[in-house]
Amino acid sequence: MVKLQKSIEKRNALIKATIELVNNSGFHATPMSKIAKMANVSPATIYLYFDNKQDLVNKTYLDVKAAYTKHAFATYHEEMSVEEGFEIIWKRIADFKLKEGENAMFLAQCDNTPMIDEHSKQEGIKHLQPLLDLWERGKKEGIIKPISDYLLYAYAINPLSFLVVNQKRGVFQLDEKNVLEAYEAAWNSIKK
């Protein structure tokens, strides 16, 4: 008996449509029917892949967050020095935010909005552990300021979200020069 399987492509198309439409209109202004149409399926089909609208957006968030952190740590090794490691990770993150603007936008909206379950948010954070470990090491070595990880993240990483959102709005353009300046600012803000 050949087991038919719900196509992974359909799931991906739904996730992709969700990201694009939520970016442009917001969660509640995006009807399931539009998501279905963009993914070329019937509205009813969505419910074969996700429990409901909330589940769809939660899963989308986790998918994107996973892709984000996977990209961030792809070239990082724990043997690297703190400074080198941070630069590697930071630039990968910047790379992600630049190349995957839609995904980055989506995360920004999720993180500043009550649209994602708190539980899923917690889940999404877990993937960041390597960066927190790196900072821990940096603090011990006296290279990174001994301050809360939230502060470090707020100054080292989060500004990229602001820049991406404004780039999407068309009022600001991120280019190679900008990125270098941004890295400088990020490092200056957290280095001891």
Binding site for a copy of itself (CB under 8 A): 23-29, 108-109, 111-115, 118, 121, 145, 147-148, 150-151, 153-155, 158-163, 165-166, 169, 171-172, 178, 181-182, 184-186, 188-190
The binder of 2, among a copy of itself, DNA, none, by C-beta within 5 to 8 A per type, is DNA
Q: In the 8-state DSSP scheme, what is residue 121?
A: H
Instruction: Give Cα separations from 49 to 39, 44, 53, 60 (angstroms).
Output: 13, 10, 11, 12
Contact by Cβ (8 Å): 106, 24: no
Cβ distance to DNA smaller for residue 33 or 81: 33
The binder of 162, among a copy of itself, DNA, none, by C-beta within 5 to 8 A per type, is a copy of itself
Residue 173, sorted as left (phi over 0), alpha (psi -120 to 50) or beta, turns out to be beta
Q: Which of 12, 29, 112, 192 binds DNA (CB under 7 A)?
A: 29
Instruction: Determine the Cα–Cα distance for residues 192 and 83; give it in Å rounded to an integer.
Output: 11
Work out how close the CB of 79 gets to a copy of itself at its nearest, in angstroms, rounded to a whole number. Answer: 28
